[in-house]
Structure 1
């Protein structure tokens, strides 16, 4: 999944949780935590890859061997401070990133590219990029994962807008 789509998916997942748990759109602070947490795997792995430290762009931050302890620690710290909802938001955001990097490989039968899930215990080959999803009937156009990601991105931004743009107030208060 493209890096810009992950924070949107993190928001969508947390917004669904907030609706389920409270019946309301998400509050600003936990929504922001979910959005930021959804970017962490790429914020960790991409600089390591571009600096030549790791062989591919999905290693440490995408590995369950790192993600599970980090999510558990964040949840425990939040809970200890009486901010359970922020721990849940972090867990949802971070987990959504790792989870949404899986389906494209499964759909394309590129199971070997799922090595990032247990890196460094398993090998992670170079990411082969955008995956084909099929042909659009009658048009002869090849649909790719980018098409679906564009729909997810636009739908997520539209929902965020409809929900009152939670988190934007925090940015305005801090930097506005």
Structure 2
């Protein structure tokens, strides 16, 4: 999945949680934390790959052997500071990223590419790229088409919710200005 689409998925998942479990729209800080959590696996792995440290762009940040302890540690830290909701938001964002990297490989039958889930115990072969989902009316439908729909839906939902998560960023930028 394209990195920007993971942000949309993280937001969609957190927004669904906020509505169903909390009965409200996503809160500012929690929305920002969920989106950050959704970005983090790629923020960890892509630089390592681009620097030539690892051969592929899905290793430590995408591995459940790293993700589960990290999510638990963040949740425990947030809870100890009276901010358990932020720990939940981080968990939803981070785990949504890992979970949404799975379906394309399953649908295409490229099960060997799921090695990232238990990396470094299991090898992670080079990613073969965009997957075909079939043909509709003579057109090849690929994972990129579905990802585009997901991205538009995520942005539309975020916009409808009042663009939560921007205010903490604006405050942070305001602190940096002279």
Equivalent position to 1:154, from 152, 159, 172: 152
Match of 2:169 in 1: 171
Matches within 5 A, 1:120-159: 120-137=120-137, 140-159=138-157
Match of 2:64 in 1: 64
Match of 1:90 in 2: 90
TM-score, normalised to structure 2, is: 0.96
In the alignment of these two chains, the number of paired residues is 174
Match of 1:42 in 2: 42
CA distance in 2, matches of 1:171, 1:77: 21
Root-mean-square deviation (CA, aligned residues, Å) is: 0.8
TM-score, normalised to structure 1, is: 0.97
Match of 2:7 in 1: 7
Give unpaired runs (5+ residues) of structure 2. Answer: none
CA distance in 1, matches of 2:173, 2:45: 28
Give unpaired runs (5+ residues) of structure 1. Answer: none
Match of 1:20 in 2: 20
CA distance in 2, matches of 1:173, 1:81: 21
Instruction: Give structure 1 regions of 4+ aligned residues with deviation exceeding 4 angstroms.
Output: none
| Larger relative helix fraction | 2
